[in-house]
Amino acid sequence: MQHVPDRRGQTFIFRLPRGEGVRVEVADSSPVMPLAITGDPLDDGGRGLVLVNAVTDNWGIIKRWGGGGKTVWFECLTPPEKRGSRFRTARPGPRP
């Protein structure tokens, strides 16, 4: 995974309550917000958020106050037929 070149990032993986799926958060100190762009098919990078959008149930970006970085998060939910909750919706904010 190439996240933010030359910057240290942190990755957190949480199991959601009652086996409803997983949530992944990637945090860094860069104030630059990522963009969901398709770009040229031959580009080496730049399609991360497009891929995240294609394969996850919900995702978002949370900017830290004062320009101190951001957290990009996504959730992959367990389908109801696999004992996941059919009523659950992904939360738009960070976990405590």
Q: Is 52 left (phi over 0), alpha (psi -120 to 50) or beta?
A: alpha
2 in a domain, yes or no? no
Determine the residue type at 21. Answer: G
As a whole number, the mean pLDDT across the chain is 78
* Buried/exposed code over 3-17 (b: 16+ C-beta within 10 A; e: otherwise): beeeeeeeeeeeebe
What is the count of structural domains for the chain?
A: 1
- Asked if residue 78 belongs to a domain, the reply is no
pLDDT of residue 75: 94
Answer whether residue 17 is part of any domain: yes
Domain assignment present for residue 18? The answer is yes
Which tens digits make up the pLDDT trace of 31-71? 888 877 777 777 766 678 888 888 999 999 999 887 788 99
Enclosing domain of residue 26? 9-65
Q: pLDDT: is 4 or 16 the higher one?
A: 16
Q: Is the pLDDT score of 2 beyond 80?
A: no
Please tell me the pTM assigned to this model.
Answer: 0.72
